[in-house]
Amino acid sequence: MTKHSTANWPALLDFDQQHLWHPYAKMPASTPAIGVNSTRGSRIRLADGREVIDGMSSWWAAIHGYNHPTILQAMHQQLDTMPHIMFGGLTHEPAIELAQRLVKLSPQGLDKVFLADSGSVSMEVAIKIALQYWISLKRPEKHRLLTVRNGYHGDTFATMAVSDPENGMHSLFTHMLKQHLFAPSPQMGFNRTSDNTDIVALEALLKKHHHEIAAVTIEPIVQGAGGMRFYRPDYLTQLRTLCDRYEVLLIVDEIATGFGRTGQLFASHWAGISPDIMCVGKALTGGTMTLAATLCSAAISDAISAGTPGLLMHGPTFMGNPLACAAANASIDLLLSSPWKKQVQSIEQHLQTTLTPLSELKGVADVRVLGAIGVVELEHSDLGPAIQAAALNENVWLRPFGKLVYTMPAFNIPQCELEQLTQGMTNAIATVLNDSQP
């Protein structure tokens, strides 16, 4: 990265702080955002000239790093041809090709594709599909959802209602949201041998309320923003069986876990299941454009199309944006042509080796790793800003939240940069914990 910005950054950052909302931030912001001039690979060039290693992959989306030439070339070609066209009554090659790829790669039976704007919207569409399915079958009493504690599915109203109402980020709105059913969280531990008390509790809710439940929603294997919790594949396998037994649809939210992050192309593959509805997003375009998709079975689409009004009642203005679809096609092809499984396994091994010793530090509650995900859970939730600042001093970009300090690097991060990332993360956590001791 050799380009230098001539922007008046002090003035820009002052305006930003006073006028621009950032995710989950005050207005004016309590601290200025950090200006960025450019990106390349797993490196971010800041406005002050520093280069830092990106440990976040832009919230888990930039799985190939930034500015990958293959994706940029596809986007340039599409930009010159047709950056956008309405999807109502019209179609185009990038959208069709993307749907073909998604149908081929997704768990068996998911062959109907709705192209949405973002992950939250794709989950809204999934919920709407489930509800409209039962309405079409003349069973409108099945209008509630069942989910699990510590889940997170988005920031829109339908998705807030199926995110954890107590430990999540949306408790402020709980009394305004539709009231759904919440089972206990799956027991922690990807390799855990379980007593299945979590499944027993979930089945009790299904048995009692199945007549009014349209679907179960869940993040497969990894609960993301609700706690970065990993759970056993067998839980998902049993959940699929229970949904069939009690005539309830299964919606899996693969927005964070899709496209290799856990070590399988989709986290559902760990359990060998096919959901009725699946959402993907984040890494879909390799972190270049906002795009998501909701897939469902033919049985669901047939029922909706045969019902009243016979139409799926959703249609965003920028649905199926050609530029985003072109980026997604290039990203998927790039992923499949790369040794992504070996890359993820190598990252997993490195994170295990370098982060696990942090569990011995006073103030660390747990360290866990799965695929290209490394999580350090602290005992206290007020140290995130200090750890973020300490990591920046190590030339590493992290974005802790609550008690969680975590990293999800790009799959193709060079080994030397991965080592710099984990060393900086380790130093930052150790320094702040040491300084916080009485």
Q: Tens digits of per-residue pLDDT, 208-256?
A: 999 999 999 999 999 999 999 999 999 999 999 999 999 999 999 999 9
- In terms of domains, do 75 and 181 share one? yes
- In terms of domains, do 350 and 324 share one? no
- In terms of domains, do 243 and 361 share one? no
**Domain final residue pick, 311, 337, 363:** 337
User: Which residues 6+ apart lie within 8 Å of 43 measured at CB?
Assistant: 1, 51, 52, 53, 54, 66, 417
Does 42 score more than 90 pLDDT? yes
CB 375 within 8 A of CB 368: yes
Question: What is the amino acid identity at position 404?
Answer: L
Pick the range with the lowest mean pLDDT from 108-122, 124-138, 151-165, 314-328: 151-165
**Domain final residue pick, 337, 372, 407:** 337
CB 189 within 8 A of CB 230: yes
Cα–Cα distance for residue pair 288/241, rounded to 1 Å: 37
Q: What CATH number does residue 52 fall under?
A: 3.90.1150.10
Q: How much helix, strand and coil, in percent to the nearest 5, is found in the chain?
A: 40, 15, 40
Does residue 1 fall inside a structural domain? no
Cα–Cα distance for residue pair 49/38, rounded to 1 Å: 10
Helices 197-209, 233-245: crossing angle, 10 deg rounding: 20
Q: For residue 356, count CB atoms less than 10 angstroms from its CB and return exposed for 0-12, middle for 13-18, buried for 19 or more.
A: middle
- In terms of domains, do 209 and 353 share one? no
pLDDT at residue 357, rounded to an integer = 98
- In terms of domains, do 38 and 77 share one? no
- In terms of domains, do 379 and 238 share one? no
Does residue 215 fall inside a structural domain? yes
pLDDT at residue 198, rounded to an integer = 98
Report the domain count for the chain. Answer: 2
Mean pLDDT (whole number) for 23-45: 93
Does residue 3 fall inside a structural domain? no
- In terms of domains, do 172 and 321 share one? yes
Mean pLDDT (whole number) for 87-101: 98
Pick the range with the lowest mean pLDDT from 30-39, 161-170, 329-338: 161-170
Q: Which domain holds residue 182?
A: 70-337
Does residue 330 fall inside a structural domain? yes
Does 2 score more than 60 pLDDT? no
DSSP, collapsed to helix, strand or coil, labels residue 110 as coil
- In terms of domains, do 346 and 332 share one? no
Does residue 165 fall inside a structural domain? yes
Torsion of CA 167, 169, 173, 174, to 10 degrees: -20
CB 384 within 8 A of CB 400: yes
Q: What CATH number does residue 228 fall under?
A: 3.40.640.10
Does residue 4 fall inside a structural domain? no
Q: For residue 295, count CB atoms less than 10 angstroms from its CB and return exposed for 0-12, middle for 13-18, buried for 19 or more.
A: buried
Does residue 2 fall inside a structural domain? no
Across the chain, mean pLDDT equals: 96
Q: Which of 154, 184, 152, 191 shows the shortest CA–CA distance to 168?
A: 152
pTM above 0.85, yes or no: yes
- In terms of domains, do 102 and 198 share one? yes
pLDDT at residue 166, rounded to an integer = 79
Q: For residue 204, count CB atoms less than 10 angstroms from its CB and return exposed for 0-12, middle for 13-18, buried for 19 or more.
A: exposed
Strands (E), 314-394: 364-370, 373-378
**Domain final residue pick, 337, 357, 376:** 337
Residues marked active site are found at 24, 152, 253, 282
Mean pLDDT (whole number) for 47-74: 97
Does residue 202 fall inside a structural domain? yes
Cα–Cα distance for residue pair 231/249, rounded to 1 Å: 21
In this predicted model, what pLDDT tens digit does every residue of 256-312 receive, in sequence order? 999 999 999 999 999 999 999 999 999 999 999 999 999 999 999 999 999 999 999
- In terms of domains, do 260 and 278 share one? yes
Strands (E), 219-275: 222-223, 229-230, 249-253
- In terms of domains, do 148 and 36 share one? no
- In terms of domains, do 56 and 195 share one? no
